[in-house]
Structure 1
Amino acid sequence: MRQVAGSLQGLKVYINFEDSRFRDLKPETLQEIKKIAAEYCIKGPEDEEGLAGKEIDDKERPEVPVSYFLDEIHCLPEWEDRVYSLQNDGARVFVTSSSAGIISDEISSRFADGIKIIRLLPFSFKEYLTLKGLRVPRPNFLTPSRCDEMLCLFLQYFENGGFPEIIKSGDFRLSRKYFEETLQKEIIERHAIQNPDGLKKLAVFLISNMASEYSIDTLKRAGGIKDEATVRNYLDYLEEAFLLYRVPMFRHKSEKPDYGKEGEDERESNTPCKVYAGDTGFFKSVFPRYPDSLGLRFENLVFLELLRRGKQVYYLHNRRECDFLIAEKESQKITAAVQVCLCFGGTAVREREVLGLMEAMEEFGLNEGLILTMDDEEVMEIERKDGEMKRIIIKSVWKWMLE
């Protein structure tokens, strides 16, 4: 917000609706603030616009543009009406929220072309380097020593996650603090959770099993929760708070049961899913003494990068598994297949990753596939029985993240 505000002229009004002074909010709160801003624009200091020493009638005073920066807007009741009113008055409005609940088709359609939604995720590897004051290199033009340097920096990024304050301070305890505060403020308090211990157990279980499939029965046992609907609600709350993301298994339309229009939610809820953490640093902060699963965190890292790039992501689990399928958002046509493995060495690993990727490439008519590894690189040309050639690119994940 500071960067945006610094580039704008005129009056800037910043409000953090999580501030304790705004706890007893009423829908009229923003209206009162708007009146104060309007009064300032009319009767503000003469030298605000370089008019010191001049007597100017209010009607002749230059119009001062007003920009509102509204932090944690979801805390304001009926915030959509208030923001809509500000926009109609010609003000520029920037809102932030730590809840994905404010992003909906209904809100987008209401504001029509007057809204732009930007999803802010933990920092990418590029942003990590920039925050460290380092130049982001072109990955295909690096000397061997420079490659070694980039790999070391990537490993630091991989270990600590992408939260800016943790990158700057090196205080990894902040990751656990973020996790616990988000659970408490954004879910338990906001939704008046009756079983906070069950929610916490469920969240910890999901974070510890990032990049894994889950079943509702397993989650019920993990959280000690009897009701299936409660588990589904908790999953929604955790995703709205950006603590985790769910990725559905790809199903062809012919494989999906027809529930009718009214059964759309039921159909989606019965689709198998994998779960990914909102930041790779959550695993070690929640389980500091737990045996680390580098492979799962590695896959989680790739998922977050795909999310940053705005990709529509699925996974495939037929006879074999392909970690990620990339689909066009409108047509749902699969355009790419990606496997993830720490080390592309050993016969068993190579066979598993290649066969899983080839199955996806065959099913969706793809001629090229991608395997992301920690530091292995090669290109494989595979000839099918019909003579058609398939190409598999094995690439270092840190180079891919710098593209």
Structure 2
Amino acid sequence: MSGGLSGAYVYSEKEDQASYIKDVYTTIIKRDLVDKYGIKEEALLDSLTDYMMDNISNLTSASKISTVFKQNKVETNHITIGNYMKYLCSAFMFYKVKRYDIRGKKYLETSDKYYLSDLGFRYAMLGTRNMDYGRAYENIVALELLRRGYEIYVGKLYQKEIDFVAMKQNEKLYIQVSDNISDSDTLERELSPLRAIKDAYPKILIANTKHDDYDIEGIKVLDLTNWLMRIGVCG
């Protein structure tokens, strides 16, 4: 839960680590963004950042967030929210990932996903409330794919969603990410979108299996920890 900020590991106590991470967060937001863009509504920026951290790996948009805020008596509009989201991405607090229509082979403009640059920020600011480890693992995989030089997109095929379409030069991968797939219904739900893709590019399910790699109908099932320690994506 300390994330990847090296300075946090100077402290042995979790509370001190969280305090350090909060200070880093405050410096990024208050100094770099508020000063650079002349932001007047600092409380709105804080609320937006909390919301985005609480909704990592979920499809969202400036219009959707604006509607949620208005329902909670926060006065704003989608233009302001959209600008603040751009500022947060420009500060590398979040990475924006667009959607890709696999069948139509085109990029979609409605709704994107936002991945947090370091999950330590979320733990420090929000604790473990409403923590969905499947979404946290998806965030980790997104960052690792970017680190390995892939362009990543959220795949859409009819009404199904594929967590990642990862591309690099002539390479393309379809990747699903899950927490625990020991339940047959969960496993089937994760495999279903990959089965629906009819081309020959590799299809991978990354989960917290704690087992060696195995194969289901041509789909590689990889343990998250083992995958993170490897050089190649496909195992």
TM range (shorter): 0.7 to 0.9
The Cα shift of 1:253 comes to 9.6
Which amino acid is the alignment partner of residue 401 of structure 1?
A: L
Tell me if structure 2 keeps the 8 A contact 1:225–1:231: no
The Cα shift of 1:357 comes to 1.8
In the alignment, which of 345, 351, 356 is matched to residue 193 of structure 2?
356
How far 1:356 moved relative to its partner?
A: 1.5
Q: CA deviation at 1:298?
A: 1.2
**Contact 1:205/1:222, CA 8 A, preserved across alignment:** no
Asked if 1:205 is matched to 2:51, the reply is yes
Q: What corresponds to 2:82 in structure 1?
A: 232
Separation in 1, partners of 2:175, 2:24: 31
SS at match of 2:37: coil
Change (3 A) 1:327 1:277: same
What is the aligned length? 220
3-state SS of 2:101 partner? coil
Pair 1:245 & 2:95 matched: yes
Among residues 27, 32, 56, which one is paired with 1:181 in the alignment?
A: 27
- How far did residue 196 of structure 1 move? 1.4
Which of 146, 151, 168 is the equivalent residue of 1:307?
A: 146
Q: Deviations over 1:116-173 (max 9, x none)?
A: xxxxxxxxxxxxxxxxxxxxxxxxxxxxxxxxxxxxxxxxxxx221111113434232
How far residue 396 of structure 1 moved from its aligned partner, in angstroms, is 1.4
Higher relative contact order (CA 8 A, sep 6+): 2
SS of 1:161's partner is coil
Q: Is the contact made by 1:202 and 1:222 (CA closer than 8 Å) also made in structure 2?
A: no
- Any unmatched runs of 5+ in structure 1? 1-158, 257-266, 383-390
- Identity over aligned pairs, percent: 21
Q: Which residue of 1 aligns with 2:2?
A: 160
Aligned position for 1:327: 167
Residues 394 and 287 of structure 1: CA distance in aligned 2, closer, same or farther (over 3 Å): same
Tell me, in whole angstroms, the C-alpha distance in 1 between the residues paired with 2:125 and 2:133: 15
> Which deviates more, 315-324 or 204-213?
315-324
User: 2:207 aligned with 1:373, yes or no?
Assistant: yes
* Residue pair 1:210, 1:300 contacting (<8 A) in 2 also: yes
- 1:324 deviates by 0.7
Q: Structure 1 residues 254 and 315 mapped into 2: Cα distance closer, same or farther (>3 Å)?
A: closer
The Cα of 1:378 is off from its aligned counterpart by 4.0
Please give the TM-score of this superposition, normalised by the length of structure 1.
0.51
- Mark the structure with the bigger radius of gyration: 1
Q: 2:92 is aligned with what amino acid? A: F
Change (3 A) 1:376 1:213: farther
Structure 2: stretches of 5+ with no match in the other structure: 231-235
Task: Select the structure that is richer in strand.
Answer: 2
Q: Give the TM-score taking structure 2 as reference length.
A: 0.84
Counterpart contact for 1:249–1:316, Cα < 8 Å: yes
Alpha-carbon shift at residue 195 of structure 1 (Å): 1.5
Aligned positions of 1:142-157 closer than 5 A? none
Partner secondary structure for residue 249 of structure 1: strand
Report how far residue 337 of structure 1 moved: 0.9
Whether 2:179 is the aligned partner of 1:337: answer no
Is the 8 Å Cα contact of residues 173 and 201 (structure 2) preserved in structure 1?
A: no
Counterpart contact for 1:381–1:392, Cα < 8 Å: yes
Counterpart residue type for residue 281 of structure 1: G
Shift of 1:313: 0.1
2 CA distance for matches of 1:381 and 1:188?
A: 50
Q: Are 2:115 and 1:276 equivalent residues in the alignment?
A: yes
Instruction: Kindly state the Cα deviation for residue 334 of structure 1 after the two structures are TM-superposed.
Output: 6.3
Aligned partners of 2:144 and 2:228 also within 8 Å: yes
- Of residues 266, 291, 294, the one that matches 2:133 is 294
Greater than 6 Å deviation, 4+ residue runs: none
Partner residue in 2 for 1:261: none
Quote the residue 1:195 is aligned against: 41
